[in-house]
A and B are shown apart, each in its own frame.
Chain A
Amino acid sequence: MATTAAPAGGARSGAGPEWGGFEENIQGGGSAVIDMENMDDTSGSSFEDMGELHQRLREEEVDADAAAAEEEDGEFLGMKGFKGQLSRQVADQMWQAGKRQASRAFSLYANIDILRPYFDVEPAQVRSRLLESMIPVKMVNFPQKIAGELYGPLMLVFTLVAILLHGMKTSDTIIREGTLMGTAIGTCFGYWLGVSSFIYFLAYLCNAQITMLQMLALLGYGLFGHCIVLFVTYNIHLHALFYLFWLLVGGLSTLRMVAVLVSRTVGPTQRLLLCGTLAALHMLFLLYLHFAYHKVVEGILDTLEGPNIPPMQRVPRDIPAVLPAARVPATVLNATAKAVMVTLQSH
């Protein structure tokens, strides 16, 4: 090809200045000027050669005259040695361009500074927002302000996970804590992210003035009520107490969320649809966490040990001598599960 043949007599070292035009074309974004198919393939894969080349270049400072001798040989080799160097040059250029693009993409997407403004809070602000999440606002005529932060909601979701795990402390049965942990994390994060997205979608349909971030923050702070109810009722197992707390505390936090949404929506039908859905999901989730979540856990335990063994009588089948000793922890440590079973059986 003309482009390869023309400077053949000129550059021996294949240095940059001789190939200025060549470099510009490569940097332009990948349209190769030189037809590489006609290249001599003696150098093998140019990319793999790059690593070796860099290695050699570092060690070759003492071999300066050897390099000069090589240049002399290049004249004799003519096209062959020259084309090898050319392909290396191309490979070098492409390597640099690729590396530049990759590091640019990485610094763009892996930059956590995108999230930094959402974590810009003071402890006093978090405390006041937690308390406000239990107080329904009365003014629904103009849009209520929602703080768009993610620290509070994220910490509340993790706290809910911790409370769920704390409520599952049955310690003399074979438990795969990993599965319980996965279930707890999946449930809490799934609720927070999933219901937020769903309500945001409904809000889009109902023309409500709320952004995704605000919805995430609103629902996250609404979980504060759930945390309180579950923390209290996992430690004091009274049936009526749970219903009272469910209505009172759960109801207050739901009312707060509903009032904020109503203030941002126009039209009775839309308000009803949006707020009814949110209220139903929020209250039902608390019911689910208290009752059915235990069933899910019992289901996991049952699949490990067989479906017909009631949890209170999990005794080692082969070691009857240990039986009396194993009974004692059952009364102390299984108080939680026992109360749950009583509650479940009473339904």
Chain B
Amino acid sequence: MAKAVESSGELGTTSPRPLMRDLKAVGKKFMHVLYPRKSNTLLRDWDLWGPLILCVTLALMLQRSSVDSEQDGGPQFAEVFVIIWFGAVTITVNSKLLGGNISFFQSLCVLGYCILPLTVAMLVCRLVLLAEQGPINFMVRLFVVIVMFAWSIVASTAFLADSQPPNRKALAIYPVFLFYFVISWMILTFTPQ
């Protein structure tokens, strides 16, 4: 980002314009994920800032403040991080091997951005958990997580399906389904102590 500022064209001024431009690009992609239409904005100018922000947010929120031991926080962050990124890499490699014509980073970008609905679900679950515990509490959380899980899959299908040969779309989408299922499971079974 520092280089971008220096090369903004005006010598000697540190203008915040490229930072705002990048943030606006990330925000625009978030909007595209929330209202998935068939467009290739995510694919054309891909970036990995959005997935990084989402991944870090999710990993931070999935930590527990454990009363028993202090070292519960560290490994959980690292493991969520690793699971998300290795899952995304595996899906990308799989879709390339099936004959897809999407590039490596484009696919990572799409999968990362489509974690946004699940991050929203995590926030909602966190808020719901502040209320009293009970079966209704669990049902509400289950409903929210299922809806957001379906939203993630629909969003990523809208972007990824076009890059596959038409008869193999199901083969490429199935691992995406498993990936978001595992993340949803992590979100649903989270309880702060």
Contacts and interface: CB of A to CB of B under 8 A. Distances in A.
Nearest to B80: A178
A316 interface: yes
Contacts of A112: 93, 96-97
B167 A123 contact: yes
Given A121-B171, A122-B167, A162 B76 contact: no
B185 A171 contact: no
B9 interface: no
A305 to B, nearest CB: 7
A248 interface: no
B79 interface: yes
Interface string A158-180: 11011001100111101111110
Contacts of A165: 182, 185
A175 B192 CA distance: 11
Interface residues of B, number: 41
Main secondary structure of the interface of A (DSSP, over half): helix
Interface string A129-169: 00000000000000000000001001100110110011001
B133 A151 contact: no
Given A158-B175, A162-B181, A328 B188 contact: no
Contacts, number: 96
A123 B97 CA distance: 15
B12 interface: no
Contacts of A155: 174-175, 178
Given A126-B171, A176-B76, A178-B79, A159 B134 contact: no
A321 interface: no
A38 B129 CA distance: 76
A329 interface: yes
A177 B76 contact: yes
Nearest to B170: A123
B181 A175 contact: no
Contacts of A316: 67, 193
B138 A166 contact: no
A204 interface: no
B67 to A, nearest CB: 8
B135 A329 contact: yes
Interface of A: 112, 115-116, 118-123, 126, 151, 154-155, 158-159, 161-162, 165-166, 169-172, 174-179, 181-182, 304-305, 316, 318, 325-326, 328-329, 332-333
15 contacts: A116-B99, A119-B94, A123-B167, A126-B171, A151-B171, A158-B175, A162-B185, A165-B185, A166-B185, A171-B138, A176-B76, A177-B189, A178-B75, A182-B79, A329-B137
